[in-house]
């Protein structure tokens, strides 16, 4: 299970403030805590201001790259920001996020996807928007696998995001991503799945409780990676426990290690 730390994101108020003030200490503290908690990669998202995104992204990358030896996930829908970010991070850019099936975005990013070595996170949406059915999202994923592999992109580099919406706006919002994951794992062997976990709980109290339980549900469907908050100790304990119960932790070594380190309390 690949854990991508979600907390360095300019849409979060504390991060937006730190970026605006060029407060490297705050950014580095958030980054270090995620790595110490078990993040394999750190998602780096400069936020939503297109006039400042490139500049802010480069600054964030510089802070992390110069102080921590951890792979990064560069997160931007902006081609210019992504291109410059990849040049800055070089081999440390283990993932890029977010590609879609939208024609204009796909055409813009395709040369970059073909030449870089990063894993690619792809949202299950296209020019028609986000399908309301698991079958519709699977169809987008299948079309993109066909297109990208035809250009020499290995299927193993693809991580499909079934797109999680808040259950607060639709009480059945958790069902479509779950069923989409199940279909992708069945119909598209060789590709991977990922999700932005905390979207499920937006707008509700006790968000961590919802995130923890939803992660368990998605793991049972074969989820390969998740963008989440690794500093939530109970969430990480749930992850270790579920992996052991699903037979994804040989000899329960990770579970035992987490216990010895006091991470299951």
- 6 pLDDT higher than 80: yes
Q: Write down the mean pLDDT value for the chain.
A: 96
List, in order of start, the domains of the chain with CATH numbers.
2-260 (3.20.20.20)
Asked whether residue 48 carries a pLDDT value surpassing 80, the answer given is: no
Distance CA 96, CA 121 (A): 6
pLDDT digits (tens, 9 = 90+) for 51-65: 899 999 999 999 999
Q: What radius of gyration do the chain's Cα atoms show?
A: 18
The token pair that represents 237 in the structure block: 């304990």
Q: Tens digit of pLDDT for each residue in 214-223?
A: 999 999 999 9
* pLDDT tens profile 135-149: 999 999 999 999 999
Percent of the chain with pLDDT over 70: 100
**19 with 57: CB under 8 angstroms?**
no
- Is 80 exceeded by the pLDDT of residue 184? yes
Tokens, residue 1: 């299970």
Return d(Cα 258, Cα 265) in angstroms, integer.
9
Residue with tokens 């059945």: 172
134 membership: H or E segment, kind and range: helix 134-150
Q: Report the distance separating Cα 32 and Cα 25, nearest Å.
A: 10
* pLDDT at residue number 98: 85
Average pLDDT of 184-195? 97
- Assess whether pLDDT exceeds 90 at residue 212: yes
Contact 145, 152 (CB under 8 A): no
Beta strand spans in 112-229 (E): 119-123, 158-161, 192-196, 225-228
Whether cis (ω within 30° of 0) applies to the bond prior to 98 is: yes
pLDDT value of position 91: 92
């Amino acid at each position: 299970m690949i854990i991508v730390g979600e907390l360095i994101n300019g849409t979060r108020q504390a991060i937006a403030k730190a970026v605006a003030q060029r407060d490297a200490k705050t950014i580095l503290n958030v980054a270090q805590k995620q790595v110490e908690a078990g993040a394999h990669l750190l998602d780096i998202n400069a936020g939503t201001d297109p006039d400042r995104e490139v500049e802010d992204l480069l600054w964030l990358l510089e802070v992390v790259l110069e102080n921590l030896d951890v792979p990064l996930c560069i997160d931007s829908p902006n081609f210019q920001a992504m291109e410059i970010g990849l040049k800055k991070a070089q081999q440390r850019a283990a993932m890029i996020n977010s590609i879609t099936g939208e024609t204009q975005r796909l055409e813009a990013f395709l040369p970059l996807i073909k030449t870089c070595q990063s894993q690619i996170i792809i949202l299950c949406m296209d020019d028609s928007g986000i399908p309301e059915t698991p079958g519709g999202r699977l169809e987008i994923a299948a079309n993109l696998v066909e297109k990208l592999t035809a250009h020499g992109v290995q299927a193993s580099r693809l991580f499909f995001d079934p797109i999680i919406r808040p259950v607060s706006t639709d009480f059945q919002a958790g069902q479509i991503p779950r069923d989409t994951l199940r279909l992708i794992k069945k119909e598209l062997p060789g590709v991977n799945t990922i999700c932005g976990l905390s979207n499920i709980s937006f707008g509700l109290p006790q968000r961590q409780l919802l995130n923890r339980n939803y992660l368990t549900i998605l793991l049972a469907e074969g989820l390969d990676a998740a963008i989440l908050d690794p500093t939530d100790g109970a969430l990480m304990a749930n992850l270790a426990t579920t992996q052991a119960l699903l037979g994804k932790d040989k000899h329960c070594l990770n579970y035992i290690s987490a216990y010895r380190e006091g991470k299951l309390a």
